[in-house]
Structure 1
Amino acid sequence: MRISILGAGNMGRAIFNHLYQRREFELALIDPKIDKIWKSLGKSGKVKPPLLFRDLLHYTQNLNQQNTILVLAVKPNQLLPLHKEIKVSKNLSFANFVIVSVVAGISLSTLRKIFKTKNIIRAMPNTPVTIGQGMTGLYFPKNISPQNKDSVLKIFELLGKTLIVNSEKKLHSITALSGSGPAYFFNFYEALLSTSKELGLSKKEILLLVKQTAIGATAMFCEAKEPINILRENVTSKGGTTEIALETLDKYEFAKGVLQAVLNAKERSINLGSELNSEIQENTQK
């Protein structure tokens, strides 16, 4: 199976890095700065290097048009230049491609106008795909064949867990929860790490304590049959230290803050998507 990744930014590289060691894929990487990027990746010569290209035209001129999964991993503001590149080239056809867009907020209708094909799937992965522990939301329109659906699922299941949604609009919720989610956890860990001075702990000591507590709590959450409120209650003794700590979080409306943060992220996703889609569709009609 050939998998081509257009755009070697953070997410493009994350997907590429995890697929690179697998022999069943023929990988291609497409980016204007491809030479610099490949050098910076510093890959071992023991593994067959991917096919490297600076742009789509260079890519299509040098490869036969076999069935290909093209992962679109460019930034949203790169879509207009990409559309111009496609428009001026008569040789660029995506008839034999299944395009998987990981570009946040850009709708199927906009992508179809750019690429002139309906074989487009939307995916919303998060950064833990780098270590094979990602969470990816996927929306497959009805025209996607079962074979192509299975091929795309196979890729993202190698990168972690997947969730198929029945509405494209749900991708805004996935963006707000799991797409941005790692940053929420990192922010909480940062808050715990910042208590080292007040607790009389060294940076090394508190780093170990926070890391292993996060690992242990997450493992219990993932493996336990009990609901999470029972796990919390099992740690919380009446009149004890955990109880006073949780009461303090409640005093500062911790849960309400989390809810509002996620809702604001969803709203921002909708608004950014609307602005970008309008701008791109307006320009694709010119």
Structure 2
Amino acid sequence: MINVQRRLFVRALAAATGALLLGAALAGPVRAAETVRLSEVSHLHGIAVDATDPSRLYLASHHGVWLTNPDGTATRVSDNRNDYMGFTPNPARPESFFASGHPERGGNLGVLSSSDGARTWSQVSAGVNGPVDFHSMDVSAADPNILYGHYGSVQVSHDGGKTWEMAGKPPADIFDLAASGKDPNTVYAATRGGLMISRDAGRTWQAASLVQRPATMVVTAANGTVYAFQVGVGLLRTTEPSLAWQTVGSGFGESVLLHFASDPTDPERLYAVTDKNVILASRDGGKTWKPLQS
């Protein structure tokens, strides 16, 4: 419910404050590939650049995982239509991903992994008090054996997702998590109270910004760049370990950013998903944005 609550929250806040104030295989029966217009892929919960072809994007949705095509369509690559909530690429292995969410018939999926471009998935762990339903999770680029996920509280794995332990809970509702690209014990959180940071693997938390406005998204890159979105401020960027955030862009109107991805081969090429389910693309490091072809 966290992801749904986040969408409802940011939409209500935008309306109220104005434009800027704001194991076992789980795949099931194999189904024929399905291709639709990009605009028809609804309820997006995650986005990632295809490491083997940076012109294409993986889209985790309420109805499976999709891959964009150059003609403005998207093809469902997962052999199921599960609801993939938490979704993150494995920076150490191209075409490998971790995810969590719900099966089509309800319940929780626990922690999943795929090594074949999001086509087939298997459960690697149930998580603590699981099966969990991580609505936000991330793999550390500094040490890909370390993963973070949020299910009531923050959980951490030190063995590639096989076992998990409870870490801690930031003092505000979490909308997103991002593991540092430089320090495996550092993790960021976008929360209702603003941006937060933990330097002890999620046990204790401090404010990561002086601006105490809701943050709806945070993501890191292996080169140490951190992006975040704060309501009423816009898209922010800093370079680790600094917390000197700079505003990159603020022309998003009443929309806020929920999901974000950067091209590992071109730091100027960025992608984002808004609360209105619109996919945006930037070719100039986030200064200007246009809707992805649909």
Task: Name the larger-Rg structure.
Answer: 1
Task: Tell me the TM-score normalized by structure 1.
Answer: 0.27
Task: Flag the structure with higher helix content.
Answer: 1
Task: Tell me the TM-score normalized by structure 2.
Answer: 0.26
